[in-house]
Amino acid sequence: MLTPTPSPHDTDPTAPLDTAGLGPSTAAVHAGEARHKPGHSITDPIFAASTYTFADTQSIVDFIEEEHPREEYGRYGNPGERVVERKLAALDGGEMAVLFASGMGALVGLLMAHLNAGEEIVFFDECYHRSREFCRKHLTRFGVGFREVPTCDYAAMEAAITPRTKFIVSESPTNPHLSVVDIERFADIGRRKGVLTLIDATLCTPYNLRPLEAGVDFVLHSATKYLGGHNDLLAGVVVGSKDKLEPVRHLRGIMGGVNSPHNAYLLERGLKTFALRMERHNANGLAVARFLERHPRVERVLYPGLESHPFHAVAARTMRGYGGLVTFLLKDADWRETARVVDAVRIPRIGPSLGGVESLIEQPMVMSYWNYSPAERTAFRIPDSMIRLACGIEDPADLVADLAQALG
């Protein structure tokens, strides 16, 4: 007779499925959720509560003495948020996840919890501009030093590290240039120099890249993008080890950047189809990039899945897919002619952001760099002829046909 494999349900019928070793679609659907829920519901309830009550005084004492973990007050978290945190930790293969009200909330919370006056932080210079702005303009007011080095210049990164350096930070791939960081090399610098490492993995997601498995200390996502996936919510998350994230969770309870129970539920629902959506984002990105690369009006396509991309080799070695973001330059086009192409597409909507089911298109020179001088735009490598297309999950043939008519 076969002996059934012991399951956590043998002892606790409500325990979430252990998704270690299972695929990303299974984890996206099941990880973190109790198997049996209130009201026998298959979905998690939304507890619209700002506070939680105690049966009697002894229950308060038991809670404070940590005999009964439970909710206390909404700023310290809510049941729905905890489910999403467990799901996100499982997707990234991390011990713990801390959810914030936005990606920037997550970055600020993480850095504030770990940095002290007199310490320093070093960034690769293509990281999200608001993340660098927070460090350059605000952390420096509290005596934290800030440096930037050219993206993927590992020697410059090592040279910038001093005995006061606490953190090194990168994004991968970067936006809009889509430079791909060799995360194993990045993690190795952190280990050898004894500094903490952070990867903003918003663009690759846990589906395409596994920074924690490469030895990176923290992975951060703007869950507003692919994780939420429907352009209908803002959220952010940091994933890593419990000991390094407990102080972050504690500070979040003081800073107050928590998600409402309703928002946490939207994110949980969006995550159900996360892996399925990523397959289509990856396929659409590659189809569109290959089409654009052959088009006579296109000067250059930046997409890590193309053999012509300067970081294709490292991307192919470390990533499962290359995501939905495609950046391309038009041949001999000024900003008005470029804008005409953006305005001529019928399927992608014109707007900032990425990672949702709807494709979004924009001209970085107009959307993000309008108030910069031509010299500054050259320094940031943002030509007037650059277009950024964030592919959604529409049919690839329709996106390609639409681009063909817009360029025609």
Ligand X SMILES: *Cc1c(COP(=O)(O)O)cnc(C)c1O
Contacts with ligand X by CB under 6 A lie at 102-104, 128, 171, 175, 200, 202-203, 222, 224-225, 234, 236
Q: How far is the CB of 276 from ligand X (least distance, A)?
A: 21
Closest distance between ligand X and the C-beta of residue 166, in Å?
A: 20
Residue tagged 């252990």 (tokens): 18
d(CA 271, CA 212): 20
- Nearest CB to ligand X, comparing residues 78 and 175: 175
Strands 386-390 and 325-330 turn out to be antiparallel
Closest contact distance (angstroms) between CB of 355 and ligand X is 8
Q: How far apart, in whole angstroms, are the C-alpha atoms of residue 268 and residue 290? A: 33
> Shortest distance, CB of residue 200 to ligand X, whole angstroms?
5
In the complex, what is the shortest distance from the CB of residue 361 to ligand X, in angstroms, rounded to a whole number? 16
> Which is closer to ligand X, CB of 17 or CB of 233?
233
The residue whose Cβ lies closest to ligand X is: 103
**Measured between alpha carbons, how far is residue 12 from residues 6, 7, 17, 306 in Å?**
12, 9, 11, 48
d(CA 264, CA 79): 9
CA atoms of 238 and 241, how far apart (whole Å): 10
The nearer residue to ligand X, 166 or 388, going by C-beta atoms, is 388
The nearer residue to ligand X, 87 or 225, going by C-beta atoms, is: 225
Under a CB-based contact definition with an 8 Å cutoff, are residues 293 and 301 in contact?
yes
CB count in 10 Å sphere of residue 255: 16
Query: How many Cβ atoms from other residues are within 10 Å of residue 283's Cβ?
Result: 16
Query: Cα angle at 275 between 248 and 324, to 5 degrees?
Result: 90
Nearer to ligand X by Cβ, of 173 and 383: the residue is 173
Minimum CB separation of residue 43 from ligand X in Å reads: 24
Nearer to ligand X, 91 or 108 (CB): 108
CB of 387 to ligand X, least distance (A): 17
Residue 154 burial (CB count, 10 A): 15
The nearer residue to ligand X, 36 or 381, going by C-beta atoms, is: 381
Q: What is the helix (H) or strand (E) element at residue 366, kind and residue range?
A: helix 364-367
The answer to whether 244 and 220 have CB atoms below 8 angstroms apart is no
Q: Which residue has the tokens 């063909």?
A: 404
